[in-house]
Amino acid sequence: MIRLRDSSDDLQLHALIFSPFFSAFRGLNLTPRKPFRTGGIPSSSAPDPYNVDVEKRILAVLGGRDVSESMFKLWAETADILIAADTGADFILEQGLKPDAIVGDMDSISPEALAMEIDQYRIDDQNHSDCDKLLDLVLSWGHRAITLIGVEGDRLDHMLGTLHSCAKSPLDVRVAIRDGIGHVLAPGRHTVSATPGRRLSLLPLTRCAQVSAKGLRWPLDSADLAMGEFVSLSNLVDETPVTVDFSSGSLLLLQEVPLSELPVW
């Protein structure tokens, strides 16, 4: 689990800048798939997706198809809201589940998925990826956090493009990967609960300045990280919690977590 900085000002500014784009999402009427859980105990009633006083567990399914059926269901069946980006809806259907909404240009989705009576948001804007559209949709609802799954896949360009989308979003974005969890971090101080002896990597999505990391086998002290220059790959957790602090940029923290401990909301 990771504790992130308060980014309410960033959310308000992003919503103001992109308000014309958000207008495509007005009038949403979603029924969350499951009541929000606190401490494993279902609440008495399903929350309104516009009520953001209690943050929802939002799982967004991309088209990567990289996780196993068992891993996907661990995440999907404990999510409050399940959203698909384009062909991610087909993967959800194949697992015997149904998304609450689909967003994208709908250029690769099946007729069966399109026939579902759910909220669908077709946006033909080719200057933004389906992941861009999905993240902006969730932001327009007023939420602060989202977990993506189906990111790795077998298309390196798609994976890198998705990470690019995450880096520029003001949401707190997590990525469910095959061997753990990724966190896209904004500048500031972050505290990570991690198990000693497990891998933890810090990869700069953009140039990151003055990166310090404590609790690792090979700690960092005000280091500048950049692709093609210096990264922290396959470091090891020595003690918990791990603390990460940096002044600028977008940093991807990849944390090893076994399947038996997932999901970690």
Question: Most distant CA pair in the chain: distance in Å?
Answer: 54
> Which domains are assigned to the chain?
1-21+56-178 (3.40.50.10240), 185-258 (2.60.120.320)
pLDDT computed for residue 51 by the predictor? 55
At residue 25 the predicted structure's pLDDT band, cuts being 50, 70 and 90, is very low
Average pLDDT taken over every residue of the chain: 83
pLDDT in tens, 148-199: 999 998 889 989 999 999 999 999 999 999 999 999 999 999 999 999 999 9
Rounded to two decimals, the pTM is 0.80
Q: Provide the percentage of residues in the chain whose pLDDT is more than 90.
A: 64
What are φ and ψ of residue 162, in 5° steps?
-65, -45
Residue with tokens 């990166």: 211
Q: What single letter denotes the amino acid at residue 87?
A: T
Question: Which residues, 6+ apart, have CB-to-CB distance to 222 below 8 Å?
Answer: 210, 211, 212
At residue 117 the predicted structure's pLDDT band, cuts being 50, 70 and 90, is confident
pLDDT computed for residue 154 by the predictor? 82
At residue 2 the predicted structure's pLDDT band, cuts being 50, 70 and 90, is low
Question: Which residues, 6+ apart, have CB-to-CB distance to 2 below 8 Å?
Answer: 183, 190, 191, 192, 193, 253
pLDDT computed for residue 27 by the predictor? 38
Whether 1 shows a pLDDT value over 90: the answer reads no
State the DSSP H helix or E strand holding residue 120, giving kind and residue range, or none if neither.
Answer: strand 119-122
